[in-house]
Amino acid sequence: MIRLAIQSKGRLNEESLKLLKDSGIEVDDTRRKFIGKASDFPLELLYLRDDDIPGVVADGSADLGVVGLNEVAESGADVKVIRKLGFGRCRISLAVPKEVDYPGLSWFQGRSIATSYPSILSRFLSEKGISAEIREIKGSVEIAPAAGIADAIFDIVSSGGTLVSNGLREVEPVMESEAVLVGGNDIPADKREVLDSVLFRFDSVRESRGKKYILMNIPTGKVGEAMSLLPSMRSPTVMPLALEGWSSIHSVVDDSRLWRTVESLKRIGAEGILILNVDKVID
């Protein structure tokens, strides 16, 4: 039995549960409980505040955790990042009131900065040789300058909308973050097999995201040209159709280039193009 800690509510909860579900690890929706058990997999879920996750993994109360890289960095807990998970992307930045004529980092010298990430900030400032007063507040950091609590803030930014609506401007991105899978430094041998299975499943789900399966019919004389438009995991599958002079091509395409590829394929005579979701990719 392996124990995985995830956020009990908040921004990473839903995506963490979805990753498990897509990996065939179904846990009853027991969010209000502290511990949940997967029905068909030797895994127990611990639902925690995200701040607590790195610590419980470091001390072995949980074997694994899904948490933002920012929380791992802030906690300083002795854990290993096993995988980046590709969701919960954000950055942690310094932001100042928008009317400030910002000359560069020296502006922060001697000023006060409100944040929920005092360790990351103090490491950054000392690396840059800036001394500033760090005021730790747990929430609503973005209102601190308007409320006269601090001159600037150091906080999570994703679209920047919250900053703008609070009259602030991002001036220094300091750290990129996303959800990561963390583990302790020595996973006991008897849990290794389950861990490998979790990783295998997570990787297959991750690999399939942003991909589409595409199939089409095309005049056989155009197959070479079509293949050059279709990078595939190995190479596209080509099969003759019963109809003389026609072939069928199957391939996998990244979402990001799907429409460009389909348009080019149509231009060279592809017909009956089908585009399907990819559920899992097993290499």
Sign of CA dihedral 118, 121, 124, 126: negative
Picked from Mg ion, ligand ATP, none, the partner binding residue 236 (CB below 5 to 8 A depending on kind) is: none
Query: What are the backbone angles phi and psi of residue 227, rounded to the nearest 5°?
Result: -60, -35
Contact in structure between 89 and 97 (CB atoms under 8 Å): no
Instruction: Look at phi and psi of residue 33 and say left if phi exceeds 0, alpha if psi is from -120 to 50, else beta.
Output: beta
Picked from Mg ion, ligand ATP, none, the partner binding residue 37 (CB below 5 to 8 A depending on kind) is: none
Picked from Mg ion, ligand ATP, none, the partner binding residue 90 (CB below 5 to 8 A depending on kind) is: ligand ATP
* Per-residue tokens: 85: 């998970």
Picked from ligand ATP, Mg ion, none, the partner binding residue 19 (CB below 5 to 8 A depending on kind) is: none
Contact in structure between 273 and 200 (CB atoms under 8 Å): no
Instruction: Quote the least distance from Cβ 162 to Mg ion, whole Å.
Output: 16
E strand intervals along 117-195: 133-136, 152-157, 168-177, 179-183
Instruction: Quote the least distance from Cβ 71 to Mg ion, whole Å.
Output: 7
Nearer to ligand ATP, 157 or 218 (CB): 157
Nearer to Mg ion, 50 or 142 (CB): 50
Picked from Mg ion, ligand ATP, none, the partner binding residue 158 (CB below 5 to 8 A depending on kind) is: ligand ATP
Nearer to ligand ATP, 107 or 202 (CB): 202
* Per-residue tokens: 200: 């295998």
Instruction: Quote the least distance from Cβ 266 to ligand ATP, whole Å.
Output: 37
Instruction: Quote the least distance from Cβ 267 to ligand ATP, whole Å.
Output: 39
What is the distance between the terminal CA atoms of the chain, rounded to a whole angstrom?
A: 26
Binding of Mg ion at residue 155 (CB under 5 A)?
no
Contact in structure between 70 and 90 (CB atoms under 8 Å): yes
- H-helix or E-strand containing 216? strand 211-219
Binding site for ligand ATP (CB under 6 A): 7, 10-12, 49-51, 68, 70-71, 88-90, 156, 158, 177
Instruction: Quote the least distance from Cβ 277 to ligand ATP, whole Å.
Output: 24
Binding of Mg ion at residue 51 (CB under 5 A)?
yes
Instruction: Look at phi and psi of residue 104 and say left if phi exceeds 0, alpha if psi is from -120 to 50, else beta.
Output: left
Coil/strand/helix, residue 201: helix
Instruction: Quote the least distance from Cβ 188 to ligand ATP, whole Å.
Output: 27
Interface segment toward Mg ion; rule CB under 5 A; list 49-57, 137-145, 231-239, 275-283: 49-57
Query: What are the backbone angles phi and psi of residue 275, rounded to the nearest 5°?
Result: -125, 120
Instruction: Quote the least distance from Cβ 176 to ligand ATP, whole Å.
Output: 10
Nearer to Mg ion, 31 or 280 (CB): 31
Binding of Mg ion at residue 50 (CB under 5 A)?
yes
Strands 2-7 and 43-48: parallel
By the criterion CB under 5 A, which residues form the site for Mg ion?
50-51
